Structure 1
Amino acid sequence: MLYLNKYFSFRKVILVIYLLMPVFLFSQVQERGIISGKVLYKDGSPAQSVTVYIPKTNLFAYTDEKGTFTIKNVPLGNEYLVEIRVFDQAPLTTKVFAKEKINKIIVKLDKNEGISLSEVVVVRKGKGEELKEKGYAMNVIKTQEASLKNIQTIELLGRSSGVKIRQSAGIGSEMTFNLNGLTGNSVRIFIDGIPIRNYGRSFSLSSIPPSMIDRIEVYKGVLPTEISEDALGGGINIVLKKNVSNSLITSYSYGSYNTHQWDLNTTFRQPELGLVANLSSYHNYTDNNYKVWGDNVYVTDPETGRINYITAKRFHDRYGASGIKGNIGFVQKEWADDFSLGFMFSQMEKDIQTGATMNVVYGNRRTNSHSGLASLQYKKHHLFWKGLNLNTFTTYSLTYRNLIDDDSHIYNWLGQRVKNYQGEEQLNPQGGEAGIATRAENTEENIANRTHLSYHFTKNHNISASYFYNGFSRKIDDPLLPQESRDALDKRRYNKHILGLNYEANFFHKKLKTNFFYKSYHQNVSLTEVTTRIHPRLGYTINTQKHEKKIDHQGYGAVVAYRIAPKLMFTTSAEKAIRLPSATELLGNTSDMVNANYALKPERSTNFNIGANIGDFYYKKHKFSSEVNFFVRDINDLITRGVPRETDDSFSFENLGKISSKGVDMDVHYSFGNSFFIHSNLSYNRAIFNLEYDKAGVRYFQYKNRLRNQPFFTSNTHIEYIKQGLFAEEDKCTFDYNFGYTHWFYLNWENLGSANKTIIPAQPLHDLGVAYTFSNKRITLAFNVKNIFDIQVFDNFALQKPGRAFYGKITYSIQ
């Protein structure tokens, strides 16, 4: 059972906020009107499929074959910058004061030079698109439409080219990311540029709803220096929403396996003061009681010892997580473009159903955590003089985690306690289900600062410096240990400093864009390792050993993009990359059954990407674009998860010689008008063990083998059809279909065994969804079916994921 009662007061706070915020924001609702008009070329011909967008309100429309557009529900009494996005040109805007019920404008374009209105000013593209045009190999995932559907954040990521999400079970389970053949901590995860680990386990990609996210940036291989982290295979940056206009969006979803998901996002702005307040909250719960079957799901007859294979329900895998996050500050002031203070509280409780494989079943093992975080952000363009820009972001977090494993009974897949042939319950002599009985407690402190200072000393030349600091400490304890062992435990400390320098230059009217960078990495680690053994006659024996370690490394690289034609851009990037061992890899984590490995070396890699962005091409209502990226990774000392111990199911991380990874990603986009969209991608990589001999001169049997238990070919196709005016003039109905495919791969090294090698089978997954938005634009109903054909889905070591599932969702918004 999940013990959520002790968080009852926390949930009441969320409920009160949820009930009061709509009342508060209803008092702020303004009278609304329409901005409509035409976008024409100077010769009078209509500009078709041009996007007309109002950034302040997030409202937009597309021009039709006559060049006309209509944007409804625009709050009246304000002046807006209306952004005109013309094909592959930089976004341009014109000012419109919305004071009437219907406000009309006419925009005239030059087919070569763009907008002809004199008052138009250039507006910068979104940060993700801007970095992409500089040559970084990356994907930018928008979440605006996805937030209305029954789609989790990790599902959105899994649909992106080159990304494979690997979960050990259902919602809330352990997950790793495979990006271009690299996995685990080689791929760093960030929230607003700060490592996700600083936010605590309870605030994870399993719990963050898409409605809290503005966009997701997926970097393949090379990270920009302003993120300033060590990442070998790239990184995923979750950029949270920070709206600057009054709004409220809340949704509730219910589905299979008793899954409940609720979220709330609100914003209040006082324009005269420049005051902005944001509040977000979520609550997720699921039983995760889906069916499992196969070679690892069986019960043993205690009298005959016969194994009977069964189809069983997961009976001990419930998960609950809640969180609340807020910001208050000032924007667009003379002394700051953005100054804000933030807070976050989150909690999570989870049952643990299996060990490293489904052969090991638990019936009472569980974990919980709760976290608190405070943040400060300051951003200012033209700090002391024109062109000097500063952006600094600091977080402090405190996280408590607890692992409870003090039940010595052994359970089977029917949820029964295992008995011997005499009818007596079998017990683990060490006192716990996974080994020695424990109530391990970890208290973690994390402080991080990311500072980026840039100077545009000319229009096309920019220098910048970035600094990232992360201080981590963990106090470990276990009330079930002897007092002597508890007294020997000390704080485990981990400090990291990363300095980045960057020079950016544009040439040939910005057709050629270049970035050259240097990074310096420094790490300090200290821990006391305590080893406790139980002797039949002597009792406990305790050994302690103090470890201290310093690591210093340098890296460098370059990113280049050249637009050879208006609709064709070549990109390339290269980097000597370093990835320092993480706190968990070095210091271990008793809550996750991870043993310390003080001897771990940093990962080192030479990364290279070359790619092309093609389009957008238009023919009448048809639109087409494509992206392709080839990559090479030459890796030394890759840090990977070791094989679990048979005695207690714990493991440690280890270095894995030399790895070579080569492959390709491809994306294709097609749309017909504003109603039909297809996005398809594929990713192929060949990651092999590339070290021939060990230190003794013995040849490795797995030399030139693909990495074990690693998928190497994935693809995804998403089709969406939008029907306007289905039942009413202003309503919208969206139908979508998604097909995801993972090719079969070997569970172990290819050379092991000559026949009947264990494989993870091919996994074709089909999802369907429909969403209907009423004509008032405030209520959206959605229904989704996932894994329609109930395919058996595996990721890690034959750990089965959920089968067919149904979900319904209602979303209410005021904007």
Structure 2
Amino acid sequence: MNIFIRKRRQTSAFIHKEIRHLDKKRWWIFVLNNFEFRSFFKSVAFRCALSLFLSVFAYSVNAQKAVLYGTITDAATGEALIGASVIIDNGVFGTSTDRNGNYTLQIPNSRKARLLFKYIGYKDERREIVVKDSTRCDVSLKSTGKQLDEVTVTMRSDIRRLKESAMPISVIGQRQLQGTASNINDVLARTVGVTIRNTGGMGSSSRISVRGLEGKRMGMFVDETPLGQIGNFVALNDIPTNLIERIEVYKGIVPYKFGGSALGGAVNVVTKEYPPLYFDASYEIGSFNTHQFSSILKRTDVKSGLQFSVGGFYTYAGNNYKMRLVNIDNREVERNHDRFKKFIAGGSVKATKWWFDEIKLELIAMRTHQEIQGIDMDIREAYNKSESFVAALNFKRDNFFLDGLDFDLDLGYVLGKYGMHDTAMHQYDWDGNELPPVSPYGGEQNKFPSDGHNRSNDFIGKFNLGYTIDRHHSINFNIYANNTALKPKDLLMDKALGFRANFPSNMNNVTTGLSYDLNLFDDRLQNALTFKNFIFSSHSRSIDIFSVNEPEPVKVSKSFYGFSNALRYKLTPEIMVKAAFNSEVRIPTSEELIGNGYSILASPALKPERTTGCNIGAMFRQQGNDGGLIELEVNGFYNTLKDMIRFTPDVIPTMARYRNFGSVRTMGIELEAKGDITPLLYVYANGTYQDLRDSRKYIPGTEVVNPTKGKRIPNVPYLLGNFGVEFHKENLFGGRGQNTRLLFDASYIHQYFYDFEMSKYQERKIPTSFTMDAGIEHSLENNRWTLALKVKNLSNRNVVSELNRPLPGRSLAFKIRYVLK
């Protein structure tokens, strides 16, 4: 019988029940390996959207004590061993590893310690070291391949646990994060079923698309916490990959504990856990005058349990690459007004020995300056700016007044200041001719000038209560609430328009979820059922479309329901099948419902989007005797999206608003294969076909037959694939403590139209792109120093995206990183 220890809801009572038939000697070994299951199953503390940029700084520990820490892994696969035992001095005292395979012990300073590392099914490992201040000792255990009285205990890493869950999901681990990618968008672009819609180089706006559904339909999370309003000031792509443990891409169904009303799926970035003493600094320089710097400093007072942190990063990009203007005689020019600067800094303190298991306070400040690059006109002065401040507080406790009841409360506040500055008194075309501004008051783009000094206040709360009934049944209750208040101010715009167009507004939304998890037949069957209620209200103002008057107050309050169910069944230890069905709702965002106070009007009649879809998939996963891993997965999906929300121009000049477009039908298939071909060679390949069609019978609001019914939705790629190979070897160039990786990645996107395809001779299409990236990464002194050289778009292909906007050509980047543990 196989027992897979996977969730915190498995209590010590269950552990003793499963081993009661073992003899005393084996029982003692089992308990020794698992006596700290309770600590392992305690949740990782919430880290708000940018704790990944932060790190840790603290008071020094007791001078009479030293900290011994490290990671225990499987020697063949490199997977973390959860619950492995670390024993010092023949059993005087010890500990066990957490969910990431990490352990920490406090022992007398400057002392020679004899260590014993044990794990069921693995050979014991003995070490003898002198511990001073903060000493790291990593161990790789070799499997014995033996079983105990037909009972095998298998501890799985978080990545494997997620892959074997009932929900459709792709998980990106350290191998992909530390490859040729420079940022999160690069990593996600190679993931099956995912496309990234960029408008330019670094710092340009981009949208993540999963199975064709993109933008605001996608949930963006950091450590299971929604970015929410902070997403207007920082994007996932801003997060340095050095700080990320893994990235989870959920497709169709979003985990109930995340909260919110994401529809097409979700991307959750999980940040790293650090040892008591940690410093990490990296600097990258690249083509097009690109510079990125990030640093982390952490120190933990082991005695008090307080963890202090400080850190941040800075990004600068000139983005002065050449682009071809297909709209103007196909000429080639250099982007001359696309500089991007971003700075983020903050600190946090976390207490782990108070009544709550974890209390964490974070403070973050951000500043962005983004020049606007013209395509039709040579824009030379306009830019966007933003400043924001974030405060977050998290409380977490297991066994909250009741055994098996877990409590988690997240509170957040975001204060934002932002606006566009467009006051130039001249325009220029690409021939250098001077033209008058868009208004007598100035401006280079749109139909009016702008000097925005807008403010936003956002309050976020997420409450999660989970109760484990027994090993088979558990329930979870989740509430996510958000209040957004916008206070736009642009006196120059009002002056140019001749009427007041900036007005305050606010929006509230509450999502309540109740879920039930079922595990049967020794974990071969998993089922997760969730019901949700969506409530939102808004108070905004609306301008009459026939004449410009003082905006009139408009109030809206609505409620909707949705549900989802995900099922997984293991046919054999290597083969499993999955099925998922969902009928859910996405509440309009504050921008969609109440506008932004100036260029986007309120849309009080806007309906939430509703999707109904299903996913059926199968996965094969086999680990060879040499530790090599082979994984194959296939998924088919079908989805209908009703009341799709789109951004459209309004009758009022210079204004726009969001409207319900109608219905869209999606169907497709995903294929992925990856594995270790040899102990030194790893290969992956994936492909996606996604067919999105307009299913509206009539043009909205009319009895006119829709001429695009059955046509493919424009500006969405439908055929794409990725391939990659990695060669890795220790001490390739001699020496000790070194590791070398050679990497190659290729991506293919078939041509697609950025307008409805009414004729096969239609020219409005984005051409096929095939790009290749390569890199070499070399680490020294057991990963203390890492040097990386990356080349993107090796063949210098002309690539365009997002309505034919040119993307950068071949680029080169060099990165150096230093880590002190």
The yes-or-no answer on 1:501 pairing with 2:514 is yes
Provide the secondary structure at the position in 1 that maps to 2:238: coil
Could you say which residue in structure 1 is the equivalent of 2:681? 676
**Alignment match of 1:418 (pick from 428, 434, 456):** 434
The yes-or-no answer on 1:510 pairing with 2:523 is yes
Alignment of 1:337-736 (within 5 A): 337-354=357-374, 358-413=375-430, 416-419=432-435, 428-429=439-440, 431-433=442-444, 434-481=446-493, 489-529=502-542, 542-589=549-596, 593-618=599-624, 620=626, 622-642=628-648, 648=654, 651-672=656-677, 674-694=679-699, 695-727=701-733, 728-736=735-743
> 1:708 is aligned with what amino acid?
P
Q: What do residues 724-748 of structure 1 show as CA deviations (whole Å, max 9, x unaligned)?
A: 1123122111111110111110121
Note the C-alpha offset of 1:33: 10
Partner Cα separation in structure 2 for residue 72 and residue 244 of structure 1: 8
Partner Cα separation in structure 1 for residue 84 and residue 503 of structure 2: 51
Partner Cα separation in structure 2 for residue 330 and residue 688 of structure 1: 52
Provide the secondary structure at the position in 1 that maps to 2:571: strand
Partner Cα separation in structure 2 for residue 29 and residue 259 of structure 1: 44
Partner Cα separation in structure 2 for residue 713 and residue 84 of structure 1: 46
Partner Cα separation in structure 1 for residue 254 and residue 175 of structure 2: 25
Q: 28-37 or 553-562: which moved more?
A: 28-37
Note the C-alpha offset of 1:244: 4.7
**Alignment match of 1:266 (pick from 289, 297, 307):** 297
Note the C-alpha offset of 1:705: 0.5
Note the C-alpha offset of 1:193: 2.8
Could you say which residue in structure 1 is the equivalent of 2:313? 282
Q: What do residues 88-110 of structure 1 show as CA deviations (whole Å, max 9, x unaligned)?
A: xxxx9999897558999977745
Note the C-alpha offset of 1:652: 2.9
Q: Identity of counterpart residues, as a percentage? A: 24
Note the C-alpha offset of 1:487: 7.8
Contact 1:664/1:684 (<8 A) preserved? yes
Partner Cα separation in structure 1 for residue 377 and residue 119 of structure 2: 59
Provide the secondary structure at the position in 2 that maps to 1:706: coil
Could you say which residue in structure 1 is the equivalent of 2:88? none
Q: 1:428 to 1:553 in 2, by over 3 A?
A: same
Q: 1:725 to 1:519 in 2, by over 3 A?
A: same
> 2:673 is aligned with what amino acid?
V
> 1:343 is aligned with what amino acid?
L
Contact 2:508/2:537 (<8 A) preserved? yes
**Alignment match of 2:752 (pick from 745, 748, 753):** 745
Could you say which residue in structure 1 is the equivalent of 2:6? none
Q: What runs of 5+ residues in structure 1 fail to find an aligned partner?
A: 1-16, 40-46, 58-70, 87-91, 299-307, 420-424, 535-540
Q: 1:533 to 1:635 in 2, by over 3 A?
A: closer
Partner Cα separation in structure 2 for residue 336 and residue 124 of structure 1: 27
Contact 1:329/1:338 (<8 A) preserved? yes
Note the C-alpha offset of 1:594: 3.8
Contact 1:532/1:542 (<8 A) preserved? no
Could you say which residue in structure 1 is the equivalent of 2:813? 807
Alignment of 1:76-475 (within 5 A): 77=107, 99=129, 109-113=144-148, 125-126=157-158, 129-143=160-174, 146-147=177-178, 151-296=182-327, 298=328, 309-331=330-352, 333=353, 335-354=355-374, 358-413=375-430, 416-419=432-435, 428-429=439-440, 431-433=442-444, 434-475=446-487
Partner Cα separation in structure 2 for residue 23 and residue 245 of structure 1: 11
Q: 1:336 to 1:310 in 2, by over 3 A?
A: same
Q: 1:76 to 1:226 in 2, by over 3 A?
A: closer
Note the C-alpha offset of 1:190: 1.8
Partner Cα separation in structure 2 for residue 418 and residue 215 of structure 1: 50
Contact 1:642/1:653 (<8 A) preserved? yes
Partner Cα separation in structure 2 for residue 105 and residue 543 of structure 1: 71
Note the C-alpha offset of 1:792: 1.4
Contact 2:743/2:774 (<8 A) preserved? yes
Provide the secondary structure at the position in 1 that maps to 2:427: coil
Partner Cα separation in structure 1 for residue 195 and residue 313 of structure 2: 25
Partner Cα separation in structure 1 for residue 670 and residue 260 of structure 2: 24
Q: 1:136 to 1:309 in 2, by over 3 A?
A: closer
Q: 339-348 or 435-444: which moved more?
A: 435-444
Contact 2:723/2:746 (<8 A) preserved? yes
Partner Cα separation in structure 2 for residue 55 and residue 408 of structure 1: 67
Alignment of 1:8-27 (within 5 A): none
Q: 1:105 to 1:635 in 2, by over 3 A?
A: closer
Could you say which residue in structure 2 is the equivalent of 1:761? 767
Provide the secondary structure at the position in 2 that maps to 1:218: strand
> 2:448 is aligned with what amino acid?
I
Aligned residue pairs total 738
> 1:521 is aligned with what amino acid?
F
Contact 1:257/1:289 (<8 A) preserved? yes
Q: 1:189 to 1:645 in 2, by over 3 A?
A: farther
Q: 1:76 to 1:453 in 2, by over 3 A?
A: closer
Provide the secondary structure at the position in 2 that maps to 1:272: coil
Partner Cα separation in structure 1 for residue 78 and residue 185 of structure 2: 31
Partner Cα separation in structure 2 for residue 549 and residue 438 of structure 1: 29
Q: 705-714 or 670-679: which moved more?
A: 670-679
Contact 2:618/2:635 (<8 A) preserved? yes
* Aligned CA-pair RMSD: 3.7
Partner Cα separation in structure 2 for residue 368 and residue 699 of structure 1: 44
Provide the secondary structure at the position in 1 that maps to 2:710: coil
Note the C-alpha offset of 1:673: 5.0
Contact 2:70/2:103 (<8 A) preserved? yes
Q: TM-score if structure 2 supplies the norm length? A: 0.82
Note the C-alpha offset of 1:664: 1.3
Provide the secondary structure at the position in 1 that maps to 2:254: coil
Q: What runs of 5+ residues in structure 2 fail to find an aligned partner?
A: 1-53, 86-100, 108-112, 132-136
Contact 2:507/2:537 (<8 A) preserved? yes
Partner Cα separation in structure 2 for residue 178 and residue 680 of structure 1: 19
Q: 1:597 to 1:454 in 2, by over 3 A?
A: same
Q: 1:508 to 1:490 in 2, by over 3 A?
A: same
**Alignment match of 1:792 (pick from 780, 798, 805):** 798
